[in-house]
Amino acid sequence: MRLLKPLTATLWAVVLLLSVCGCRQQSGHTLQAQNQPQVYYPTVNEGVILPPFLSKGDTIGLVAPAYKDDLNEIKYAIQWLEKQGFHILNGQCIDLHHSTIYSGTDEERAADFQAMLDNPSVKAIVATRGGYGVVRMIDKVDWSHFREHPKWICGFSDITVIHSHVNRQCRVATIHSMMPLSIKAENSEQIGAQSLLKALKGQPLAYTVPSSAKNRAGKATGELIGGNLSLLISLTGSVSEMDYDGKILFIEDCDEYYYHVDRMLMELKRAGKLEKLAGLIVGGFVRLKEIDAPNIKFGKTVEEIVWDVCGEYSFPILFDFPAGHIKTNCALRLGTTCTMEVTGKGGYSTVKM
């Protein structure tokens, strides 16, 4: 009997070990616990899928997965897209006039987005605006049909959550771009709106940017990832967090304190997200604020913050790229191969994808 207890404990240990090994995730497969949403774990180097590009006559679905909007505010953009030869299908949450800041409940917004993902006639999905709320509905969406039948998803700001989730969970390219709320008569013929059309149609995206004296010169090629810095930080440690190794990272933000920008970049650094980057593209950082306290000032520009955090690395850094919460918001195909050639003051830098 003295031997029975140790033997019993050993058997239970073996059973537990086999159970854990049996549930261990397999690269490129799904892992699903009982009564939990399905999560996909692709390999880090698994290739990114390019959805089919659009042609005249294709249908674009408009959704409002975050803040609510007013149909009158996006009326011009709808007419503009129709003039480009596209059919427009409005989501159920557009102009819903929900009682909160959102365009609908989490369930309503998820169902609306799901309907666009699963609709075979919809060839691209464009978010009408950002704000906040995507993170509240993202886990209610079933991406299984989308993985088999991918389509372009477009937007920026809070839509960074979708860009990051799709990159990590589905390995499908997306488009960081202007949204209907900001497309107006005065800018529809400018590079921001026109680059969205180019991105959707599969035309090359190539940008030439006057070089800043703060740039770190160099050339890099890699998969382009990124979006709104605050949103990227909020996804750290979640199933929506992207892999940063070997990538070219694009970041932008607005309405943050300068020290918040420093803290967010330090978080990326301490988490090991910056040391293996191929390159860094810094877009618009606008309406930034100093500390609201007497006799206290952070005292650093965005360029100085980036250099302070990234100075020890060797990858090229491009400042003042025209994308983000700024008037010129150039489209970027996230997940695709990007080449950046960066020079110093007096020259021009290029970003191609």
Segments of the chain assigned to CATH 3.40.50.10740? 59-201
Where residue 211 falls among pLDDT bands split at 50, 70, 90? very high
Segments of the chain assigned to CATH 3.50.30.60? 206-352
pLDDT per residue as tens digits for the range 270-320: 999 999 999 999 999 999 999 888 888 899 999 999 999 999 999 999 999
Identify the pLDDT of residue 295: 84
**Section 209-230 average pLDDT:** 97
Identify the pLDDT of residue 96: 76
CATH number of 206-352: 3.50.30.60
Give the pairing type, strands 206-210 and 218-228. unpaired
Nearest-10 crossing angle of helices 302-310, 258-270: 20
Q: What's the predicted TM-score (pTM) here?
A: 0.87
∠ CA 108-92-77, rounded to 5°: 125
Q: Are 263 and 295 in contact (CB under 8 A)?
A: no
CA dihedral (320, 324, 328, 334) in degrees, to 10, reads 90
Here the tokens at position 20 are: 């854990």
- Compute the distance between CA of residue 202 and CA of residue 204 in angstroms, rounded to an integer: 7
Architecture (CATH level 2) of domain 59-201: 3-Layer(aba) Sandwich (3.40)
- Percent of all residues in the chain with a pLDDT value above 90, rounded to a whole number: 80
Identify the pLDDT of residue 46: 65
